[in-house]
Structure 1
Amino acid sequence: MLRDHERIAREMSDPGLVRLHRKLERLSSVLTVMNTGAHPDDEKNGLLAALRFGLGMRVVVACSTRGEGGQNAIGTERGAALGVVRTGEMVAAAQVLDADVVWLGHGPDDPVHDFGFSKNGDDTLARWGEDRIVERLVRTYREERPDIVIPTFLDVPGQHGHHRAMTRAAEAAVMAAADPDVYPHHFDEGLKPWCVAKLYLPAWSGGGSTYDDEVPPPETTLEVNAGPVDMATGVPFARIGEWSRAAHRTQGMGVWLEAPTQTWPLHLRLGRLSPDGKETDIRDGLRACVGSLASLEGMSAAAADHLVRAQHSIASAQAAFPHREAILKAALHAAEAVENAIGTMPDEMRHVVEHRLRRKLRELDAVILEAHGVHARAWAEPTEVVPGGKVIVSAALMTSDEDAWAKPTAIPALAVSHGSVSRGIHNFDLAVSVDAKLTNPYPACHRALGGNGELALTIGTEIGGRVVHTMVDLEEPLRIVPEPQITIEPRAVIIRLFEIPSSIEAQMLARSASGVPVLAGPEGWHARTAGDHIFIEPPPDVKAGLYAFNGTWNGAAVFRGTSIAYPHIGRTTFFEPETLKILALDLTLPECTTVGYVSGGSDRVGDWLKAMGFDVTELEPLDLQGDLARFSTIVIGTLAFSTRTELAAASEHLRRYVEAGGHLVTLYQKPSEGWNASTTPPRPIEIGSPSVRWRVTNPDAPVNVLSADHPLLAGPNVIGDDDWAGWDKERGIYFASDWDDAYVPLMTVGDTGEKPLSGGLISATIGRGRHTHVALVLHHQLDRLVPGAFRLLANLMQPTSSFLGGAQD
């Protein structure tokens, strides 16, 4: 349930007149445009804002993955948990645009998932399954029935392989969706072939700081221009697009546009141009409004008359803004005319027309209720409930209409047992069946007109003899969550082979009605619980490896619930089976090491250093202005210069720390966000851009060590081939492209067919100290418990004194 200040903020951002104008805008068009992309944040938000708010078109974003393989600039969520965050961000971005979202991938366990950066569309299609992704797009076209499809990216070298794959699939699916012989099993489900009228490719380059399109964009056949500003807010559409993009905070999206564009160039790839070969409007050649459907060949005279009348009433309702009574009268006439048109049209016209008019009726009902002054807010308490539990759902109807009503619309597993009204608030008691399925954290879609989640509210009333109703989503979605739940801390323990402890202790917090938790581990290991403590006794002959202890409760698997809470997406909980992992490895820590760690908020390196046994102090950027001599090594976390802008002021102080004998280690940073090549590092380091040219995406790419006897590679752990094995996702990103002569590259690595990069691990003696810059994705390997990453990190923590007498730069 939202807190008071959260409700106040939502109300402030949703003024009634803007809300009414937005609902009237929808009536302008019967067209649907679909924007296809591979990840949350791939959508072309400014263009979509122009199409939705300027032209009134329905907007659908078709997204193939949840973005679970991407980076996270604001938190430590990785993999499946990051997919939950980015799913929420995509929904938040779509809500700004009043857009629907349809996902083609079902989460990290689905073949169609974000497996990390790819440089090759063929490789992506092979991993996803080309037929699989095309079939899902064909199904989406047949379900959503877009008139226009616009991929965001081009299928050209230098572009992300996922983007290339989606653009290729989007075009293939256009032809397949119209073919009755392709995927005929769809028709058993009630779908029919669908002909997309137009497919546009972007006539802009996808190059920039990340990508590097090697082929120029196709010629512009159309420039979309919906006018200088949005009528409801007076804001340029491109800026509204940035309002939407700002929801993708994990990816650092959202910028202020001082001189925003008013046009978006497109290239008509499939579809017919006018006889002169030119388009002036994206709607050219299409029946764009309700009234234009009247002239369709085969439309009955009676239906055509009703459609013309409906269009006249729609225009009257829009022209009457902001006068609610006049809007209400005209909208009621429009709804009656649309219903009459549906009732009198020939059956052969229904597949092409009826879905447009059915949606228009829903949109008209929303206008009628808004003009009549019926508005609602709905919530559930609690927002998380286990199977067999109970929940109260409430709706506050803000209206003077005493006949207005509300009722729950829920999945079958939720049964309404009682309803009451108190001081204008409608309350309903709901019971959750004991065999209810858990809420899927990766929903299949999001609908702009409401009805999302396990539970929503339908509100309505009778106005002018017409029963009107609309859907209202809960302030926070209701989630059916697992029971029992336990939390084990720490979740992973690092033990060194030469000092195996006799007992390993962890703590357990449990949430369950009854029962005793049990941890089942490998043979020879003994685990027992005593209260909220877990004691694990390893065997005397522990070998290097990863050992897992899975939790059960009365024979059932137990789950860990991790809170996810960000202001831009709200609150949820990510559940996964709880497991305690123990990594045993040959690991030696350097002596006389005290570490100061500055987190960028996007990794857990500081926690892993502590788990390894280092003396670690978490530092705030302002701490770096003080006495740093007590630290032998200072580590600046991943993306910290991007997320902690105050770090820039500490650069000079850090340089003096290095020159005085300290060891500064900087993990990978973005080149354009907080990193100044000349002033941020102790000596100049240029980070490569665009990043597609300065990353190694193959986690198994062969590593060529240039200086095996360098102290950072020679001890206290001798880094060999085994330490580069078993890496996950990729080798590194944001490699250095140029550096001061003081730095020495320690390795090269590259993707197949590309020149190896040498800027992944560089180090320099500076004054009496040292600076080491690391573009390897160590933080991800640590989270994946890759042994070599721990051994390399231990070496990187060496104080400068360890270098005396050893090989030097």
Structure 2
Amino acid sequence: MKKAQSLIAIFFLLFASVVKAQSYPTWTSAEMYQALRKLNVLGSVLYVAAHPDDENTRLITYLSKDRLYRTGYLSMTRGDGGQNLIGNEQGIELGLIRTQELLAARRVDGGEQFFTRAYDFGFSKNPEETFTKWDKEKILSDVVWVIRNFQPDIVITRFPTTGEGGHGHHTASAILANEAFKAAADPSRFPEQLKWVKPWQARCVLFNSFNFGGNNTITDDQLKVDVGGYNPLLGKSYGEIAAESRSQHKSQGFGVPASRGESYESFKTTAGTSPSKDIMDGIDLSWKRIEGGDKVAVSIDAITQSFDLLHPERSVPGLVKLYQQISGLKDGYWKAQKLKEVKELIAQCSGLFLEATTTEQFSVQTDSLRINMAFNNRQGVQAVLQTVNITDAFDSTLKVTLPKNRNIAFSRKLYVPVSNNITQPYWLANKMEEGYFNVNDQQLIGQPDVQPSYKMIALISIEGQDFRFERPVKYKFTDPVKGELYEPVVIVPKVLVSVDPPTVIRTAKETPEFAVTLKANKRMAAAPDARIELEAKLKPAVLRTGLPLLEKDYVVGYEAKVQDTISSDYRGVSVVTGGEVYNQGLRSIHYDHIPFIAYYKAAVLQTSFVDLKIVNKRIGYIVGAGDKVPASLEQMGYEVVMLGDKELSRINLQQFDAIISGVRAYNTNEWLNAYYDKLMKYVQEGGNLIVQYNTSSNVGPVKAKIGPYPFNISRTRVTDEKAEVTFVKPDHPVLNYPNKITQQDFAGWIQERSIYHGSDWDKNFETILTMHDPGEKADAGSLLIAKYGKGYFTYTGIVFFRELPAGVPGAYRLLANIIGLNRKKAF
């Protein structure tokens, strides 16, 4: 007893200040009332599509906030292969951003988020191509797993199985959903899952038909539902909420206006029993689904009718009895789900504040971390804090009564053993295949996000009933502009290793430099054998010995030259000290609209030999939506000057041998309209203007003239990175000077050849190449070149922004030739 009293004294002494914000979302009384009503609805819907931003947010909002169904969205991919409107992240980094944007969207529209292991490898024109990379059986098993876990009454697909969705991933998602509908109910399919789940038969699969992209799949005989209602509890229409949800997809530029008024969605049955009047025809959505559930429904009605918006805490005793009542029912899916909902309602109606935070974002292996815990029983319900533990790191028995609206807080310092794994998105923990992530833990499949590094688990007795509440431990800090903020806590190793640049191109005449940077996350005395190693084919090459004492947060860089065999290769870089090896670098992504993202990437130096000649030297680069082309240009030997609105307005463009616009520059920069005449004068007087791809979609449509002669931008693209390339004008300077371009220059490309080709071009444009995907006709719009006055203008959809960072030699050589077009050379 004395120990408990002394602990209470420590609680109040350590933290006297009032906690000013909450890391865990709190509800308004209207939201609590909405959640009470949802307790009496036992129905679930799973929406299925291919990418982030494919989902119908208006329908998801309607299903979750009007019909009050448990509503989920299963995205086959994390959107890794798309284009990035807000930065230069590509591939898995873009997938990390789009994952968080999806989670932000679900927080708005009320849905839940799931994924398969499929990797978005870029645009695919048909499902056959998609399945050559996705491993159909593997991804099908993921869809079955999500269905067996989520147990939807109905499955809704965004796209049809017949191809009108346009993208091969879209069609593949519908094919998988329809096949999984049957497979999920068949115990002979993926039986290894039955250790955790049971077979599940949904009632039907509905295709949510549409009229967009030039395809109208809506017919008069389809089932139609008005989803455009207004919710007075929320103060918004479902169209308004949906617009806010969809606008979370900022990296894709999917901000949309709010809509109001009636809005119909149409549905066509593609598997199972067809509904006639409502999508849930024939499905019991009441507590009659559970034996003995009738009495539960009566209890919920009584609590709902007596709910006091000004005093939600008065409903807590009834909710606790309801929890006990549901606990007595036979175990099953809906029992477990409704117990979670009731527990959350009890916490919200009680106004319970539970928080665990740190003042350091990074938790270092073999070091310690102080965690601050705070509790406040703001509405004064009968509550006793029984025990607290942090992910099994410690367990304290307290038995402290929580007084009304008083802050009780304490802190504990935890040792962080090496056995605590570094914080890494689970889908990136293992080396991935071309078309999917390798996830070995079955129970992780489908989960949307990284598990928190630490959890606080508090056992609190409310009205005599014990409840186990979990809260992620977060890093809390105050920004002088943004105020109090919360971010994830990241477990890091003692030493981080990074290589800059990660891709180094070499020529026969040059031995370029690269830097290895070490960052110590705790004080480390280097062992006698401490060294930096570069992996090599025969034996490691030692880059550096005699490493110094590394103080905490000490950063040291070492420069080295690439001088070994002239060949393309990947080499791991490691720090070895005292028998321990460190070879991970921490990458972070920061945007205001999503949480801080951290992930680890092995310290690898990619070296690529390029037989490269360049002419011209000084490049002006007009900033676009974000790409890594400028860094590649500098490696090629060019001097690069970044050009924005201010720079274009005041400087003389004739100082540049070439000007290159970044990807989607004309989509994202309306101010480029003002510089058309200046840019054309630059070309006319002998300059060289190179415009990389812009989109023809609704995402930032091109509003400016681009070239000296008219042309349009199409949606034509060549998605096969091995597609045949034909030289239409093999004698053209762009294929001959200063580098002789051959078919070998189109070997080893990644993801795709080109996107958003030019079309309907003026006769003054020359076409140099044709390329096409299998089964399609050749298209010449990937590279359009026009002589204008003394200079040159080029529009290209060739994906230099992907190939250059990947170290593809031919991409460097071809771009060097485009840059050299205005250099005089006789042919």
Q: TM-score range by the shorter chain?
A: 0.7 to 0.9
How far, CA to CA, are the matches of 2:386 and 2:397 in structure 1?
Answer: 13
1:370 corresponds to 2:371: no
1:390 corresponds to 2:399: no
CA shift, 1:785, in A, is: 0.4
1:783 corresponds to 2:783: no
CA shift, 1:683, in A, is: 2.6
Structure 2 equivalent of residue 4 of structure 1: none
Matched position secondary structure for 1:566 = coil
- The amino acid that maps onto 1:519 is E
* Conserved? CA contact 2:693–2:797, under 8 Å: yes
Structure 1 equivalent of residue 160 of structure 2: 154
Q: 2:507 aligns with which of 496, 511, 531?
A: 496
How far, CA to CA, are the matches of 1:452 and 1:610 in structure 2?
Answer: 39
1:62 corresponds to 2:63: no
CA shift, 1:18, in A, is: 5.3
Q: TM-score, normalised by structure 2?
A: 0.84
How far, CA to CA, are the matches of 2:77 and 2:795 in structure 1?
Answer: 32
How far, CA to CA, are the matches of 2:681 and 2:22 in structure 1?
Answer: 48
Pairwise CA RMSD: 3.3
Structure 2 equivalent of residue 595 of structure 1: 619
Structure 2 equivalent of residue 139 of structure 1: 145
CA distance 1:703–1:314, change in 2 (3 Å)? farther
1:96 corresponds to 2:120: no
Matched position secondary structure for 1:783 = coil
- The amino acid that maps onto 1:551 is S
How far, CA to CA, are the matches of 1:179 and 1:446 in structure 2?
Answer: 20
Structure 1 equivalent of residue 252 of structure 2: 251
CA shift, 1:598, in A, is: 1.7
CA shift, 1:335, in A, is: 5.0
Counting only pairs closer than 5 Å after superposition, residues 328-367 of structure 1 correspond to structure 2 as 328-330=313-315, 332-333=317-318, 335-337=320-322, 339-343=324-328, 350=331, 354-367=332-345
Q: 1:657 aligns with which of 682, 685, 691?
A: 682
How far, CA to CA, are the matches of 2:188 and 2:60 in structure 1?
Answer: 33
Counting only pairs closer than 5 Å after superposition, residues 573-612 of structure 1 correspond to structure 2 as 573-591=598-616, 593-612=617-636
How far, CA to CA, are the matches of 1:33 and 1:410 in structure 2?
Answer: 35
CA shift, 1:668, in A, is: 0.8
CA shift, 1:765, in A, is: 1.2
CA shift, 1:465, in A, is: 3.6
CA distance 1:538–1:362, change in 2 (3 Å)? closer
* Conserved? CA contact 2:387–2:396, under 8 Å: no
- The amino acid that maps onto 1:251 is Q
Structure 1 equivalent of residue 3 of structure 2: none
How far, CA to CA, are the matches of 1:125 and 1:181 in structure 2?
Answer: 23
Residue by residue over 1:318-353, the C-alpha shift from the partner in whole angstroms, topping out at 9 and shown as x without a partner, is: xx362334xx445643553464355255xxxx5xxx
* Conserved? CA contact 2:81–2:120, under 8 Å: yes
* Conserved? CA contact 2:664–2:695, under 8 Å: yes
CA distance 1:698–1:510, change in 2 (3 Å)? same
How far, CA to CA, are the matches of 2:497 and 2:450 in structure 1?
Answer: 32
Structure 2 equivalent of residue 441 of structure 1: 425
CA distance 1:604–1:144, change in 2 (3 Å)? same
How far, CA to CA, are the matches of 1:247 and 1:218 in structure 2?
Answer: 31
Structure 1 equivalent of residue 587 of structure 2: 562
- The amino acid that maps onto 1:506 is A
1:86 corresponds to 2:110: no
Structure 1 equivalent of residue 433 of structure 2: none
Matched position secondary structure for 1:201 = strand
* Conserved? CA contact 2:620–2:640, under 8 Å: yes
Structure 2 equivalent of residue 715 of structure 1: 737
Counting only pairs closer than 5 Å after superposition, residues 94-493 of structure 1 correspond to structure 2 as 94-105=106-117, 112-158=118-164, 159-187=166-194, 189-205=195-211, 207-208=212-213, 213=215, 216-217=217-218, 221-226=222-227, 228-258=229-259, 262-273=263-274, 278-279=276-277, 281-290=278-287, 292-293=288-289, 299=291, 303-316=292-305, 320=307, 322-325=309-312, 328-330=313-315, 332-333=317-318, 335-337=320-322, 339-343=324-328, 350=331, 354-400=332-378, 401=380, 403=383, 405=385, 411=391, 414-415=393-394, 423-442=407-426, 444=444, 453-458=452-457, 461-468=460-467, 470-473=469-472, 474=474, 475-493=486-504
How far, CA to CA, are the matches of 1:701 and 1:504 in structure 2?
Answer: 34
- The amino acid that maps onto 1:249 is K
Structure 1 residue runs of 5 or longer lacking an equivalent are 1-6, 106-111
Matched position secondary structure for 2:421 = coil
Q: 1:510 aligns with which of 519, 524, 536?
A: 519
Count of matched residue pairs: 754
Q: 1:683 aligns with which of 686, 706, 709?
A: 709
* Conserved? CA contact 1:309–1:337, under 8 Å: no
Residue by residue over 1:128-147, the C-alpha shift from the partner in whole angstroms, topping out at 9 and shown as x without a partner, is: 22222222222221112111
* Conserved? CA contact 1:560–1:575, under 8 Å: yes
Structure 1 equivalent of residue 574 of structure 2: 551
Structure 2 equivalent of residue 49 of structure 1: 61
Deviates more, 1:465-474 or 1:357-366: 465-474
Structure 2 residue runs of 5 or longer lacking an equivalent are 1-18, 428-443, 475-485, 548-555
Counting only pairs closer than 5 Å after superposition, residues 616-627 of structure 1 correspond to structure 2 as 616-626=640-650, 627=652
How far, CA to CA, are the matches of 1:270 and 1:797 in structure 2?
Answer: 55
* Conserved? CA contact 1:625–1:653, under 8 Å: no
* Conserved? CA contact 1:462–1:468, under 8 Å: yes
Q: TM-score, normalised by structure 1?
A: 0.85
CA distance 1:146–1:410, change in 2 (3 Å)? farther
CA shift, 1:776, in A, is: 0.8
How far, CA to CA, are the matches of 1:308 and 1:233 in structure 2?
Answer: 24
CA distance 1:185–1:460, change in 2 (3 Å)? closer
* Conserved? CA contact 1:624–1:654, under 8 Å: no
Matched position secondary structure for 1:436 = coil
Structure 2 equivalent of residue 641 of structure 1: 666
CA distance 1:799–1:720, change in 2 (3 Å)? closer
CA distance 1:181–1:446, change in 2 (3 Å)? closer
How far, CA to CA, are the matches of 2:671 and 2:286 in structure 1?
Answer: 53
CA distance 1:622–1:615, change in 2 (3 Å)? same
Deviates more, 1:400-409 or 1:751-760: 400-409
CA shift, 1:355, in A, is: 2.1
- The amino acid that maps onto 2:156 is I
How far, CA to CA, are the matches of 2:649 and 2:343 in structure 1?
Answer: 61
How far, CA to CA, are the matches of 2:32 and 2:386 in structure 1?
Answer: 20
Deviates more, 1:765-774 or 1:393-402: 393-402
Matched position secondary structure for 1:739 = coil
CA shift, 1:545, in A, is: 3.2
CA shift, 1:176, in A, is: 1.6
CA shift, 1:71, in A, is: 1.9
How far, CA to CA, are the matches of 1:178 and 1:480 in structure 2?
Answer: 40
- The amino acid that maps onto 1:270 is A
CA distance 1:439–1:549, change in 2 (3 Å)? closer
* Conserved? CA contact 2:63–2:69, under 8 Å: yes
How far, CA to CA, are the matches of 2:82 and 2:152 in structure 1?
Answer: 29
* Conserved? CA contact 1:686–1:738, under 8 Å: yes
* Conserved? CA contact 1:416–1:429, under 8 Å: no
- The amino acid that maps onto 2:110 is D
* Conserved? CA contact 2:424–2:599, under 8 Å: no
Matched position secondary structure for 2:596 = strand
